[in-house]
Amino acid sequence: MSVERPELLAEHITSDSVAEYLSRHPDFFQHHTELLKVLYIPHPSGEAVSLVAKQLEILREENRRLLKNYKDLVDVGRNNDAVLRKMHTLVLSLMEATTLEQAITSLTDLLQSNFSTDFVSMHIILDGETENVLPSRGMRDLAISADNHALQLFASILENNQPQCGQASQEQLEFLFPKNARDVASCAIIPIQHKGFAALMSIGSRDEKRF
């Protein structure tokens, strides 16, 4: 039986094989504690640190990362709770409204006060004579005829019945926010269709990253 010489065995040992061995024997240094005193790892500062010190450094960094993740999760949870409370208030306010005008007024006021929106607009889309359908002058000012050519700007939104968020075109902004079009950097355009009622609710922000 042939026996390999030590120098030949050494040639078969690579850094990968050492790493693999240590990963399969995590208790290796428990049986060879003397190595912990002589093994050193290069540090970015240029100074060498012992293996134990390096392990402590890694553990501290991992603890800092876990602590940050925990704080981030807590913050997200608190924000979600706050949004939930605001949504609850909004829903209750809408349920208490006895007229369409009250509902729209409550919706607009709460969006601006509780959700820190810069601009809110509502356009009610109606067929026929607006004056015969809407009870008050304030409501009639919100109305737009279904055949108004300006609605072509929102054809895809109304057809798909899906909100659109981001940066709207200048024409869209001038229609939705005639007095504040230049101040709106981003917005959410929300189509509302329910039992023959149709409208466009728009929420604008000075922050281009808000929507």
Q: Which range has the worst mean pLDDT, 78-82, 99-103, 115-119?
A: 99-103
Taking residue 47's Cβ as centre, other Cβ atoms within 10 Å add up to 8
118-205 belongs to CATH 3.30.2010.30: no
Indicate if the pLDDT at residue 175 is higher than 50: yes
Q: What integer best gives the mean pLDDT of the chain?
A: 80
pLDDT recorded at residue 131 = 47
Residue ranges per domain, the chain?
8-96, 118-205
Q: Which two tokens mark 83?
A: 């949004």
- The answer to whether the pTM exceeds 0.75 is no
Comparing 133 with 175, the larger pLDDT belongs to: 175
Comparing 128 with 27, the larger pLDDT belongs to: 27
CA distances from 168 to 22, 177, 203 (A): 59, 11, 11
Percentage of the chain with pLDDT > 90? 17
